[in-house]
Structure 1
Amino acid sequence: MHPSLMPPRQVKIGDAAAFVGSTPRAIRHYHGIGLLPEPERGGDGRRRYGYEDMIRLLWIRRMADAGIALDDIRDAFTTGTASTGADSEDGFTGILERLEETLAEQEATLRRQRTAVQRMRTEGSRMGLLSDFVTERLRGLPEGSLRRADLDGLLVTERILGPLGAALQATRFIALATHPALREDSDRIDDAEEALDDSVAADDPRVAQVAAERHAFECALQAVIEESGLGEDDDALFDAWDTLHPAAADGGEDAAGLSSGSREAGSMSAREAIGKMPYDFSPARLRCMELAEELSARDSAAT
């Protein structure tokens, strides 16, 4: 072989890194974690890498590119009698099985993320993040008829009560979106409630007045829901949910009056949520809510 083509018996770390497609820093890290034994050093104190070192570096690079963790590569190497021997294959069997499971989980995650992105592009960035069960309930509404506060409320409800609870709440926003006068009344009362800030005493006469207006509005809203047939749609929601989740159809009733199967994993009861979800309500506004509930309870008892 011509002297100019004669390969060196050993190379420095920079040449070794360039050959295997790595970096000197990565190779030093391999030494630090025990993945690659420290090679002998030359008279200048620098590391020198021979043929066996380069073979091991090439295998490390290929396995790392395949997604195998460096710690697993090191463990696999230490179980075999040689870095490329037949015995070392046994050390990789379990590692590859775990890697395949991890990749399958990552693929499932990517599919869910891709589906979520597609739904966001189709339904809108906020509505697309709600569950299919909820967005299907809202389908057909005029564009822009749902407000950000409506979607925020549905997001919170879905977290607490699951998709079925949020889909039932969506009925309220459908009625408001399709009845402008009702939406106007809703805005007026919302503003009146927000005005009950910390500067208003809980026993201020305005608190009882706003509570009465809220109660009257809720009665009017419920009447519109029943007259427009939205109430019947709500009944159909339970059937649709049971069809999608037959295993949960025989569940008992929870505190919210919804089937226990209506909640997804990780959701919580209303009682649990009270201590975890902050609401910036003044004492006056809380008292207003209590009074409105009392008025509603009286009506229910009377009927």
Structure 2
Amino acid sequence: MTEGITISQAAAFAGVTVKTIRHYHQNGLLDEPRRDSSGYRRYGTADLLRLVQVRTLAGAGVPLAEIGSILDADPDRFAAALNDVEESLTSRIDELIARRETLRQLAHGDRVLLPNRALALLDRMPGLGFSADDVTTAREGLVLVRALMPEGFDNYLSQIEHGLGDPRHVAMIKLTWSAGNWDSDDPRIEELAEEVAAHFLANPALLPTLTGLQNRDDGETRYELLTHHGEDNRPGWTRLTALIQEKMRSAGIDIP
């Protein structure tokens, strides 16, 4: 009668590596086989069957920590355990599919980060004369507002929707955004700041507000991140924003 097969042969027959078999031994999934007179492990048919069972379950995604109890269970418990594993794998598959879909959407831009209501506003902008760069800046800004001010995001969208419905306001915003490309010392900035401040003083309902930050300990930090977004690429904005805020405060309007 044969003394059994070597660990290398067992690995080849089961479709695994010798290192994997040793790993199974270390984790208690496979008993140490008997050794021959020379001290070498010899795997019999029962050992090989167990090895194939462990390899099959591991290949199906069953965690190694659960394989031992599954194989040692009675038929009913074995079936129930496999059913639990199947449900877990199905859940993981669904999660991976959702992640893949998110990645596919991100490949076409970060629109996946915004709800349909916000996307509809962005889609309106080109028809109102805003440039592609303006739309990109607006999209990035909305992503930041949603992340930093989630409780006030819907209200913020309502303010934007209201503003885009006013042709005079749209023209003012377009002019303001184009001024971002001016040099910070451009003399037109002072004149534009006066015009924008007068516009908002005459139409306070069009003044966008970042509600929901007052009750946060880090509200000031969040406000700074939101209000200064895009200034690195639009040098005229920093001075223009400061002048507008200064003129609004001078008129008695509470600007954070």
User: What range is the shorter-chain TM-score in?
Assistant: 0.5 to 0.7
Instruction: Give me the whole-angstrom Cα distance separating, in 1, the residues matched to 2:98 and 2:171.
Output: 37
Shift of residue 69 of structure 1?
0.1
User: Who is 1:292 aligned against?
Assistant: 244
8 Å CA contact 2:201, 2:248 repeated in 1: no
Provide the identity percentage: 21
Aligned residue among 243, 257, 267 for 2:211: 257
Instruction: Give me the whole-angstrom Cα distance separating, in 2, the residues matched to 1:181 and 1:256.
Output: 20
Q: 1:170 to 1:43 in 2, by over 3 A?
A: farther
Specify the code of the residue in structure 1 equivalent to 2:248. Answer: S
User: Who is 2:177 aligned against?
Assistant: 186
Instruction: Give me the whole-angstrom Cα distance separating, in 1, the residues matched to 2:199 and 2:224.
Output: 31
User: Who is 2:33 aligned against?
Assistant: 39
Specify the code of the residue in structure 2 equivalent to 1:14. Answer: S
User: Who is 1:136 aligned against?
Assistant: 120
Q: 1:191 to 1:37 in 2, by over 3 A?
A: same
Tell me the alpha carbon deviations over residues 38-59 of structure 1, each in whole angstroms, 9 at most, x when there is no partner. Answer: 2223344432211111111111
Shift of residue 131 of structure 1?
2.8
Aligned residue among 129, 154, 162 for 1:164: 154
8 Å CA contact 1:161, 1:269 repeated in 2: no
**Superposition pairs of residues 14-29 of structure 1, within 5 angstroms:** 14-29=8-23
8 Å CA contact 1:40, 1:48 repeated in 2: yes
Q: 1:271 to 1:108 in 2, by over 3 A?
A: farther
- Aligned-residue CA RMSD in angstroms? 5.0
Segments of structure 1 that go 5 or more residues without pairing to the other structure are 1-5, 78-82, 197-205, 235-254, 259-267
TM-score (norm 2): 0.65
Tell me the alpha carbon deviations over residues 92-140 of structure 1, each in whole angstroms, 9 at most, x when there is no partner. Answer: 746753x35533542442343344345446xx32334433331123234
Q: 1:18 to 1:223 in 2, by over 3 A?
A: farther
Instruction: Give me the whole-angstrom Cα distance separating, in 2, the residues matched to 1:62 and 1:92.
Output: 15
Aligned residue among 131, 145, 149 for 1:145: 131
Tell me the alpha carbon deviations over residues 191-219 of structure 1, each in whole angstroms, 9 at most, x when there is no partner. Answer: 45xx66xxxxxxxxx7xx95774463365
User: Who is 2:222 aligned against?
Assistant: 273
Q: What SS does the aligned partner of 1:139 have?
A: helix
TM-score (norm 1): 0.57
Specify the code of the residue in structure 2 equivalent to 1:167. Answer: L
Q: What SS does the aligned partner of 2:88 have?
A: helix
**Superposition pairs of residues 227-246 of structure 1, within 5 angstroms:** none
Aligned residue among 102, 112, 137 for 2:98: 112
